[in-house]
Amino acid sequence: MSSPSSSSTPSPYPAPHPTNSLLLAYQVRTRTILLAGGGPVAASRLYHLLCARPKKLVLFAPDNEDIDDEFRWRVEGESEDAKKGREGIEIEWRKQEFDPTQNKEDLALLDGDEIDMVLTAIPNPTLSTKICRLCRARRIPVNVADVPPECDFYFGSVLRRGSLGVMVSTQGKGPRVAARIRRKLERAIPENAGEAIENVGQLRKGLREIEKGTGKEAIERRMGWMIRVSDKWSLAQLGEMDERMRNEVLAGWEKDEARGYWDVNRGKYGGLGWLASFASRLGVGTCPVVKDPDGSAAKCPFVMGSTGFVLGAATAGAVAAFWMRRQ
């Protein structure tokens, strides 16, 4: 048995970073979630819960002037958008305070097997702590808003674009910092990134209809081909993929060809991306758009050389014209 590597030897594997959290995309479509509170924080929690599409939401909040406008709109709004937001989710609004320490019916909810998760966003820290203890005693995951020690999970700052979901978490230490980082990510990710993911999903579906094999070899070949194809398209280009492009890409499967954006759009001329791709087919230089479709085509050697030649020729022409006028 080999001895552990000494501290001076570089580790071949990444070292664990102790964040005390396991970042997951938790599926709740078969779950029932209890939310206590009806203020702005509860409204924010409600929005995220509606995005997650749980089976049922049990809401506890007195129906009074303290109810947040967004909370009420999401639960009772009659507009098309409000109804669509809660479509398919059973919502039960019990218009009273949730207090399992005083109300036997509330305690029975926790003792039963219906509630899978509890969130509190109420202006009563003492009651929140008691709810937290009751939930943990029953092994029900609980989140007490703005009290990290009483949270079994955190709500991060989330970026959503269609099927794309990116969460930035500071483990409850700096929500405002998380929001700033999320905004930076928003600027870096193409607007049609959600469409890109949907289109890749359609491409995978189409491939499975062509190659229906369930054996290890068939699965590995499908995965390998999808990786090669995806690596030839930028995120923005994947967002543009329509049915025609998808069919042309799938047509390369039998020939084991991974077709990129410009391979199925030969009729589109112009732009640095096309020029760099054209150069790569000629074997002129190594272009970033070949190695990294999201890279800058302006750094392609052929593009840089061609640009330099054009600028040089234009400069020489301007100097010659100026000299001719002086004669």
Instruction: Going residue by residue through the chain, which has 327 residues, state the pLDDT in tens, using 9 for 90 and above.
Output: 555 555 568 889 988 888 778 888 899 999 999 999 999 999 999 999 999 999 999 999 999 999 999 999 999 999 999 999 999 999 999 999 999 999 999 999 999 999 999 999 999 999 999 999 999 999 999 999 999 999 999 888 889 888 888 999 888 788 889 999 999 999 988 889 999 999 999 999 999 999 998 999 999 999 999 999 999 999 989 999 999 999 999 999 999 999 999 889 876 654 445 555 555 555 545 455 555 565 554 445 544 455 554 555 556 556 566 666 666
Amino acid identity for residue 109 in this structure? L
34 with 58: CB under 8 angstroms?
Answer: yes
**Which of 63, 69, 146, 294 is labelled catalytic?**
146
Burial of 2-30, coded b for 16+ CB within 10 Å and e otherwise, reads: eeeeeeeeeeeeeeeeeeeeeeeeeebee
DSSP labels for 183-248?
HHHHHHS-TTHHHHHHHHHHHHHHHHHH----SHHHHHHHHHHHHHHHTTS-HHHHHH--HHHHHH
User: Tell me: domain 32-155, CATH 3.40.50.720, correct?
Assistant: yes
Alpha carbon distance 59, 62 (integer Å): 10
User: Tell me, what amino acid is at 241?
Assistant: M
How far is 314 from 309, CA to CA, in rounded Å? Answer: 8
**Per-residue model confidence (pLDDT) at position 302:** 46
Q: With the CA atoms of 96, 100, 104 and 108 taken in that order, what torsion angle do they form, in degrees rounded to the nearest 10? A: 110
**Dihedral pair phi/psi, residue 32, rounded to 5°:** -115, 125
- pLDDT at site 287: 54
Active site residue 68: no
pTM: 0.71
Task: Report how far residue 71's alpha carbon sits from residue 45's, in angstroms, rounded to the nearest whole number.
Answer: 9
Go through the chain and tell me how many residues it has.
327
What Rg, from alpha-carbon coordinates, does the chain have? Answer: 28
pLDDT number for residue 25: 86
